[in-house]
């Protein structure tokens, strides 16, 4: 039976993500045994008052985020240091 496992990764920037994923043998486009979603920069939610005016503006969170779904394989060891374990992922695979 096929089993897909989702991994949430955070890199310093887009170039580091592309380089590290490629070096780990991960295709940078969807493939038969994987899917990849370059989320990029994640923004915090702005806080608005009752009139819709911004009290606290949205802010960019550190890092370049990538969601990776692998089928029937473990995450390459080189990617383990970039793993994140979000309670509520910003974006998920359908």
Q: What is the Cα–Cα distance from 57 to 65, expressed in whole angstroms?
A: 21
Instruction: Say if 47 falls within a structural domain.
Output: yes
Do 69 and 93 touch, CB atoms closer than 8 A? yes
CB count within 10 Å of CB 14 equals 13
Within a domain: residue 33?
yes
18 found inside a domain: yes
92 within a domain of the structure (yes/no): no
Q: What is the pLDDT of residue 90?
A: 79
Domain that holds residue 41: 4-84
Number of domains in the chain: 1
For residue 17, tell me if it sits in a domain.
yes
pLDDT (tens digit, 9 = 90+) per residue, 26-75? 999 888 889 999 999 999 999 999 999 999 999 999 999 999 999 888 89
Residue 92 carries which DSSP code?
Answer: -
Query: What pLDDT is recorded for position 18?
Result: 96
Tell me how far apart the alpha carbons of residues 94 and 67 are, in angstroms, rounded to a whole number. Answer: 12
Q: Look at residue 20 and tell me if it is in a domain.
A: yes
Asked, for residue 28, whether it belongs to a domain, the answer is yes
């Amino acid at each position: 039976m096929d089993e897909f496992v989702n991994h949430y990764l955070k890199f310093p920037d887009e170039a580091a993500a592309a380089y590290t994923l490629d070096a780990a043998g991960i295709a940078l486009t969807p493939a038969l045994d994987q899917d990849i979603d370059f989320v990029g920069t994640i923004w915090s939610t702005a806080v608005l008052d009752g009139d819709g005016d911004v009290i606290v503006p949205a802010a960019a969170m550190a890092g370049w985020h990538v969601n990776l779904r692998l089928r029937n394989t473990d995450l390459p060891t080189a990617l383990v240091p970039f793993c994140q374990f979000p309670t509520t992922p910003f974006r998920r695979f359908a």
